[in-house]
Amino acid sequence: MVTETLEVDARHDIARKLDALGWGAFFIWIGVVLLADVGAGWTLTGIGLIMMGVQLARTVFGLKLEGFWVVVGGCFLLGGIGQIVNARIGLVPVFLILAGLAVILTSLWPARWRRKHA
């Protein structure tokens, strides 16, 4: 029992540190972007890479992957790449609409089904 409690505390501590590292990297990236004036494409790409990197680190440390942040990070990443390559259709609005629909549909999913499939 005590060992399980220590393991849960250690995992929680790792999760908090990864979140703090992610936010630190985010603020540093925004500062670099503002100083270097690199444009929206690179800004979005960097934010997406930071978000995806935090999720990758979570899996490396055996923590649960946060699906919402994977989707958001993917939206930023693909949107940034779309900006860089001058895609005709803006990918950011499309992925934001899809992410919003996913959040709404997930919230409407009956609780008894979520427990079975979690």
Distance CA 87, CA 91 (A): 8
Q: What integer is the mean pLDDT of 62-71?
A: 89
Q: What integer is the mean pLDDT of 90-111?
A: 77
State yes or no: pLDDT of 92 exceeds 90: no
Among 14, 84, 16, CA closest to 49: 84
Overall pTM > 0.85: no
State yes or no: pLDDT of 26 exceeds 90: yes
Residues in CB range of 49: below 8 A, 6 or more apart: 73, 77
